[in-house]
Amino acid sequence: MRRFLASLLALGALLFVLDRAIGSGMAALFRSSASEEDGDTFGRAFRAQPGIVICGSSRAMHHYVADSLGAALGIRVYNLGRDGSWGALYEYGAASMVLRHGKPRLWIMEADRDLYSGKERLDYLSCFLPYAEDEPAAAEVAILRSRWERIRMLSRIYPYNAMLVSLLAPRLGKIVHPRDGYLELTGVMSADTSAAGVAPSTPPDFSVDSLKIKYLRRTVALLKERGVRVVAVRSPTFLAGEAVRAQDRRKGEDVARVLGDLTVKYFDFNVLDHPEFAAESLYFDAEHLNGTGALRFTRALEDSIQFYLAQTTR
């Protein structure tokens, strides 16, 4: 037994050393990598000191052409959209961290019912793990992933879990460099996808998630408290058929109701009210605009934002 315990202890020590060494290497790689998928996106956003921040899921990342919007408005814009991050918890973590390093004039949330309803997907909060040591808000949100998260976070490697390939990718030249967080999608969706639209993947249950709504309220309160104006935007989705489009507009009305309660200005670009986004040539797949679609959408948004900023400044 004694021999076993000694071996276990020695193995534990070896693992500890390896964890610290590899973890430090990963941290250095993380800070220096140009990767958008797993790189230091928040760090880049802090350093950019943007006047407008766009936040949300992959739809945010691929739909809002930050530099174009910035040029039109004369303000530095940064896109903090992130694949899979469609819930209010991501908004809260991102807003808290950004506010710690600066004060944007406007916060744009990419909004759908996923923002406050449906079961929250907590695994995507792993993007906060590399910041958990320095940013209290990142730690607060990251530990919600599981009740054992605090223990996992004792490891130095864990915050960089599954990041190695994407952190190394830019060094191997396998990456399309994002522009202020915006990542362009190229290509047009296949005929099969366009025939299906997004209807089959639409979750049937849209009951309000108490955790999400709590964090949505906290996010809006936090931003307003610091004098940051908040708007929510629902960017276009490809929908096949009038019935599905009408259903989608009703979804948008639900979102408007919830955001109205929080006194958040809301712009809905549903295809029924904005037929200019109905063409499938604007889409990469049913849920994402391609580069052409994104540019057209951003231009349409510019007017709304410009008008809103002018109105609220007066």
Partner 1 sequence: MRFNSFDYFFFFVIVVGLFFAIPQRFRRPWLLAASLLFYMYWSPVFILLILYSTTIDYFVAKRLERTEGTRARRGLLALSYVTNFGALFLFKYYDFFMASWAGVAHAIGLPAQPPLLHLILPVGISFYTFEAISYTTDVYRRSYPAERNYPRLLLFIVFFPKLIAGPIERAWHLIPQFERETRFDYARVREGLAKILWGLFKKIVIADRLALYVDAVYNHAGRHVGSTLLLATLFFAFQIYCDFSAYSDIAIGTSQVMGFDLLRNFRRPYFATSIADFWGRWHISLSTWFRDYVYIPLGGNRHGFWKTNQNIFTVFLVSGIWHGANWTFVLWGIWHGAFLLLQNVWNRFVPTVVPPGPAKRWLQVLGTFPIVCLSWVLFRANSLQDAGHIYRQIFTHLDPAAFYAGSLKHLAYGCFGIAVLFSVELWNETGGYRLLWRPAAKPVRWLAYAGLAVLIVMVGVFDGGQFIYFQF
What distance in Å separates the CA atoms of residue 145 and residue 123, rounded to the nearest whole number?
6
Pick one of 28, 71, 165, 221: the residue that binds partner 1 (CB under 8 A).
165
* Helix extents (H) in the chain: 2-32, 41-48, 58-63, 66-73, 88-101, 136-142, 149-152, 164-168, 191-196, 210-225, 242-261, 291-313
* Nearest distance, CB of residue 21 and partner 1, angstroms: 10
Q: Which residues contact 223 (CB under 8 A, 6 or more apart)?
A: 95, 99, 107, 229, 230
Residue 148 has a CB neighbour count (10 Å cut-off) of: 9
With beta carbons less than 8 A apart as the criterion, state whether 289 and 62 touch.
yes
The window from 40-48, 131-139, 152-160, 178-186 that contacts partner 1 (CB under 8 A) reads: 152-160
What distance in Å separates the CA atoms of residue 292 and residue 285, rounded to the nearest whole number?
13
22 touches partner 1 by CB under 8 A: yes
204 touches partner 1 by CB under 8 A: no
**Positions in 60-89 near partner 1 (CB under 8 A):** 83
* Nearest distance, CB of residue 10 and partner 1, angstroms: 8
**Residue closer to partner 1 (CB basis): 18 or 221:** 18
Instruction: Compute CA distances 107 → 172, 223, 227, whole Å.
Output: 34, 8, 10
| Site map (CB under 8 A) of partner 1, residues 105-144, x = contact | -----------------xx---------------------
164 touches partner 1 by CB under 8 A: yes
Q: Contact residues for partner 1 (CB under 8 A)?
A: 1, 3-4, 7, 11, 14-15, 18-19, 22, 37-38, 83, 122-123, 145-146, 148, 151-152, 155, 157-158, 160-166, 169, 174, 190, 192-193, 196, 200-201
